[in-house]
Amino acid sequence: MPKEKKESVKETKKSKKQIKKAKVEATTKKTKIIKEEKKTEKKVKTAKKTVKKEEALVVDKVETSEEELNLEAQRKNNPPNENNPDEEIARKVIEENLSEKKEKQDLKTLKKHPQTMEELLSIPGFEIRGIKKGDKVIGTITDKTKRSVFFDIGAKTEALLMEKEIEQIEDYLSYLKVGDTIEVVIISPETDKGQTLVSLRKTANDWRWTLFEKYFTLGKPLNVRGLDVNKGGMIARVLNIRGFIPVSQFSRKWSGKIDQLYNKVFPVRIIEVDKTKNRLIFSEKAVSESEIMQKQQELLQKIKIGSTYQGEVSGVMPFGIFVRVLVDEKDKESFLDGLVHISEISWEKVNDVASIFKVGDKIEVQVLEVDQNTEKLNLSIKRLQQDPWNQIAEKYAPDTKIKAKVIRMAPYGAFVEVEKGIEGLIHISKIPSDMEIKKGEELDLYVESIDKESHRISLGVVLSAKPVGYK
């Protein structure tokens, strides 16, 4: 092969090698550029995510702040709500509880902070305490938003309030502040995410009942929502606790129409509270008729047991009559309500009250008792007349023979009228087996015994002949 041709082949091979090398270098450069671009893209994406997170946090804080402001505005401007107690009273109850919890905390100020575990364990009184489900611990609120509440309970991480509880105890949470120290219950010492979950349900419930006791002591009104209506009154709800309003604790305005208060919010006063019995009793008229009730209290102070007053029949019932009693004759509006029970109408037995009295009748009554709970009077008419039993013991000594008419029959014997207002009993054991007694029949009897205190006379039949079988 000629020399020139050989050199040409060499040059061609060399050129091919250079081209191949250039291609490899170009590919390598391109790969590096692509890698750099991917890294840059990742950094950009990461930066974008970080920005989005920060924006979300800012928006969440702004929204939370706006929501809290809106809630505050609603609390002040919205119509009555049964879950909106007086803020000053609600907060006062919380602060009283806070001081108790702080006193329970055994906090020590260390002059020298331990640097090792050995130094920490050597501190007098120090012990490592674990937490378990159901433990009650003291926690300080470190952060609070509408969606979450964090507590410092002295553990390695902050404790978080269970999310499902936030809505249930929203009324209580609305009065708590960052820095408040309260009792929490451990629900989960450590979740999969490393969080400690706690509950405030018991603390919130205790707060509600303590709040009710405070309202009861102060005598201040609070709003409730009317729920179920029954014969005895109405069930009402406040702060998710149910109470009861008896019919007698509604004002005259709602007489016979308390069902119109169903699902309505209206003011009441607490007249009885007992957490151990889960008992909460309200009075609507203590608010709507407060002036009238105050006047009634003043009138009740003027009432003297055993005194006689003028009155007017305001109602006639099978069990007795209702009377409006005039307390002060100088003040024609000084009335108190009272009841004359059927047993206090007459010394004689009364079967039909309506046949004796009608609404509007003017009568005279004697006060037997003042019921401070119902602010009603227990009255009597018969006590204004002489008790016929006072002279019965002298008039009808044992073995005295009398004639009396049978007025009614009973399974255990026959009742007779000894005289007006005085009844006696012939017990079935004192009636001969061959003798048939009928209502209206007049009998020859003898007095067996008298119980003046119990108003009872036991009688026996006077026999005109020896009974069958008598020996």
According to DSSP, the residues that pair with 310 across neighbouring strands are 326, 364
For residue 93, give Cα distances in angstroms to 204, 214, 215, 355: 11, 8, 11, 58
154 within domain boundaries: no
Question: Looking up tokens 């709800």, which residue turns up?
Answer: 237
**299 and 376 together in one domain:** yes
Question: How many residues are present in the chain?
Answer: 471
Question: Cα–Cα distance between 298 and 400 in angstroms, integer?
Answer: 53
Considering just the CA atoms, what is the radius of gyration of the chain in Å? 45
**338 and 396 together in one domain:** no
**377 and 396 together in one domain:** no
Question: Cα–Cα distance between 161 and 172 in angstroms, integer?
Answer: 13
197-216 burial, b at 16+ Cβ within 10 Å, e below that, comes to: bbbbeebbbebbbbbbebbb
Question: Looking up tokens 């109470």, which residue turns up?
Answer: 243
pLDDT of residue 20 exceeding 90: no
**408 and 380 together in one domain:** no
pLDDT of residue 346 exceeding 90: no
pLDDT of residue 348 exceeding 90: no
| 225 contacts 245 by C-beta, under 8 angstroms | no
Q: How many domains does the chain have?
A: 4
40 within domain boundaries: yes
**284 and 296 together in one domain:** no
Domain end among 384, 402, 436: 384
Closest by alpha carbon to 286, among 335, 313, 258, 249? Answer: 249
**309 and 362 together in one domain:** yes
358 within domain boundaries: yes
Question: Looking up tokens 């036991």, which residue turns up?
Answer: 458
Question: Cα–Cα distance between 153 and 182 in angstroms, integer?
Answer: 10
**429 and 405 together in one domain:** yes
Question: How high is the mean pLDDT of the chain?
Answer: 80
Q: What is the pLDDT of residue 57?
A: 46
**297 and 282 together in one domain:** no
Render pLDDT for 447-461 as a digit per residue (tens, 0 to 9).
888 887 777 889 888
Alpha helices in 219-320, H assignment, sequence order? 285-288, 290-302
Torsion, Cα 46 62 91 141, to 10 degrees, reads 10
The answer to which of 39-43, 124-128, 215-219, 242-246 has the lowest mean pLDDT is 124-128
For residue 113, give Cα distances in angstroms to 105, 118, 378: 20, 12, 75
**357 and 305 together in one domain:** yes
| 249 contacts 282 by C-beta, under 8 angstroms | yes
CATH code, domain with 354:
2.40.50.140
Q: Which two tokens stand for residue 231?
A: 């014969």
Question: Looking up tokens 């329970």, which residue turns up?
Answer: 104
| 426 contacts 414 by C-beta, under 8 angstroms | yes
Domain end among 250, 272, 288: 288
Q: Domain limits at 338?
A: 290-384
19-56 burial, b at 16+ Cβ within 10 Å, e below that, comes to: eeeeeeeeeeeeeeeeeeeeeeeeeeeeeeeeeeeeee
Closest by alpha carbon to 443, among 461, 426, 424? Answer: 461
| 245 contacts 287 by C-beta, under 8 angstroms | no
93 within domain boundaries: no
Question: Cα–Cα distance between 392 and 219 in angstroms, integer?
Answer: 53
Render pLDDT for 187-244 as a digit per residue (tens, 0 to 9).
888 888 888 899 999 989 999 999 999 999 998 999 999 999 988 899 999 998 999 9
Closest by alpha carbon to 153, among 184, 122, 192? Answer: 184
For residue 450, give Cα distances in angstroms to 81, 92, 177, 335, 418: 65, 66, 76, 42, 12
Question: Cα–Cα distance between 342 and 319 in angstroms, integer?
Answer: 5
Q: What is the pLDDT of residue 109?
A: 45
**228 and 300 together in one domain:** no
Torsion, Cα 314 316 321 326, to 10 degrees, reads 10
139 within domain boundaries: no
DSSP summary character for residue 386: -
* Three-class HEC string of 307-342: CEEEEEEEEEECCEEEEEEECCCCCCCCEEEEEEEH
More confident residue, 319 or 371: 319
Domain end among 350, 368, 384: 384
Closest by alpha carbon to 300, among 230, 370, 360, 358? Answer: 370
Q: What is the pLDDT of residue 265?
A: 93
Q: How many helices (H) and strands (E) does the chain have?
A: 9, 20
Render pLDDT for 251-278 as a digit per residue (tens, 0 to 9).
888 888 889 999 999 999 999 999 999 9
72 within domain boundaries: yes
DSSP summary character for residue 122: T
Burial (Cβ within 10 Å: 0-12, 13-18, ≥19) of residue 119:
exposed
**282 and 305 together in one domain:** no
135 within domain boundaries: no
Closest by alpha carbon to 216, among 266, 259, 274, 278? Answer: 274
Render pLDDT for 130-155 as a digit per residue (tens, 0 to 9).
788 888 888 889 998 888 899 988 87
256-280 burial, b at 16+ Cβ within 10 Å, e below that, comes to: eebeebeeebbebbbbebeeeeeeb
197 within domain boundaries: no
**256 and 275 together in one domain:** yes
According to DSSP, the residues that pair with 225 across neighbouring strands are 237, 265
Q: How confident is the model at residue 45 (pLDDT cuts 50, 70, 90)?
A: low
